[in-house]
Amino acid sequence: MNYILTGLRENLRPPNPTFSVDHIPDLRGRVCVVTGGYTGIGKEISKALLEHSAKTYVAGRSPSKARAAIQSLKESTGREALFLEVDFSSLASVRRAAQELLACESDIHALYLNAAIMGVPIEQLTTEGYDLHFGTNVIGPWYFTKLLMPALLRGRASSPDQHARVITTSSAGAYMSSLHWDTFTDTPARRKLHPGILYFQSKLGATIVSHELARRYGEQGIVSIAANPGDIKSEIYRNRPAFAQWFTNLMLWPTPMGALCPLFAGTTAEALQYNGEYLAPWGRLARCRDEVYDSEVGRRLWDWLEGQVARHEMSDSESL
């Protein structure tokens, strides 16, 4: 219960922000990738990066939404984002997208893992048969990061501050559930859980991965931070019933506010000291559930992800 109260307080009563997009330094020469970068919080992150001269890729599964957003961003910033098509519920799509990006960019300086889903029906699974929340919010982004790590390490070397950053959009939902290890795949145990719990555990899983990434790659100059954007008006609520969505919107912060914490983590010199940490709105150091900082939990989840992806990569290679 204490975790739930902490998460609610964190989002409902954050202090006024001390960081704004005006504090972002010039990002000329930097390559940034924003997953889910053409709607909601992701679009606001992309806008700020473009305004500060970063070469910015918006990654997601909808070419039509991306085209519309890229045009809108060009009109507002004078700069044009690039589209990378990827569906995080498909490991094959993640692999193709990473290969396409690596063919275009040798160095990546910041990866914003922002795309996520929430409240999807229990019957829906990823292409490989994983729980759709966990697959889209944890497995796909982890695999994408793994495949892009060579470019991130090169980006670290070419970055003015000698670091590359991986910023995971977390959530107060990470407080709301522990990991149910037997529900990552489509098991009877999974079918008994409410989709909200499956979403909450996926945000916890993503936050654990963020901390473990910092532990494994921090000495090589990779800064990994989990950033809670706050309760924000966003397309992530699109699966809620109309009345519930209307009621929720009354309590939500404007969408641009949601970009502040990820942008603080991804652009400021101050954030370099927060490697492996969890930040609350609007860029405050906070503490998430104890599992996030438990090295055994982090290793176990990372090893599970490695094993799952290796199994599918082997299956794909055998089918060729």
Q: Using alpha carbons only, give the angle 195, 242, 89 rounded to the nearest 5 degrees.
A: 40
User: Residue 247's pLDDT band (boundaries 50, 70, 90)?
Assistant: very low
Could you tell me what percentage of the chain is helix, strand and coil, using 3-state DSSP and rounding each to the nearest 5?
Answer: 55, 15, 30
Which CATH architecture fits 2-319?
3-Layer(aba) Sandwich (3.40)
158-183 pLDDT per residue, tens: 999 999 999 999 999 999 999 999 99
Pairwise CA distance, residues 254 & 112, whole Å: 20
Is there a catalytic annotation at residue 43? Answer: no
Catalytic residue among 203, 210, 217, 278: 203
DSSP 89-150: T-HHHHHHHHHHHHHH-S---EEEE-----S--TT-B-TTSBBHHHIIIIIHHHHHHHHHHH
Domain ranges of the chain: 2-319
Which of the following is catalytic: 170, 171, 224, 234?
170
pLDDT grade for 6, boundaries at 50, 70 and 90: confident
- In the predicted structure, residue 318 carries a pLDDT above the cut 80: no
Query: The dihedral of CA 129, 205, 166, 107: what is its sign?
Result: negative
Q: Which of 38, 57, 143, 199 is catalytic?
A: 199
Judged by DSSP in three states, 169 sits in strand
Assess contact for 230 and 281: CB atoms under 8 A.
yes
How does pLDDT run across 295-314, given as a tens digit for each residue?
Answer: 999 999 999 999 999 998 88
Tokens 């700069």 -> residue: 79
Based on the residue annotation, tell me whether 199 is a catalytic residue of this protein: yes
Classify 301 as helix, strand or coil. helix
